[in-house]
Amino acid sequence: MKKHGILNSAISKVLADLGHTDYIVIADAGLPIPQGVLKIDLALKAGTPSFQEVVDAIADDMVIEKVGIASEIHGANVEAATYISEKFSEIDRLEVSHEELKRLTGQAKAVIRTGEVTPYANCILYSGVFF
């Protein structure tokens, strides 16, 4: 049994398998997940687990080089936009349209679905290296 970090075996495996510039998506409960992309569904009920809880846990266990968000987040979900900005203040950020973010999910190593039910609470976490 693991002592530290992510206990979810599917998430732990995905993180261990990431290479430089590979990426995962942390998604709200409504983001469509393309056929063929690994979906790790953590949603228990509306709001649980939250987008922030999942991002915090992943960020503690992953080398993140860049974060991608939908530009629409700024007008539709100020709380999530502020959280991402503060959480990743030292990391490069990429802003794309929500349609482009949905398109990018097709190349993700995994989409981790949260129970979040606020608009545009999605992000792409690009893997870096620790050396």
Numbered residues of the known binding site for substrate: 28, 98, 120-122
3-state DSSP assignment of residue 123: strand
User: 20 catalytic, yes or no?
Assistant: yes
Q: Annotated binding site: which residue ranges?
A: 28, 98, 120-122
Q: E strands of the chain, at which residues?
A: 23-27, 39-41, 64-70, 92-96, 110-113, 123-127
How many helices (H) does the chain have, and how many strands (E)? Answer: 5, 6
User: Distance between CA atoms of 110 and 126, rounded to whole angstroms?
Assistant: 12
Please pick, among 9, 17, 20, 61, the residue that the annotation labels catalytic.
Answer: 20
Active site residues: 20
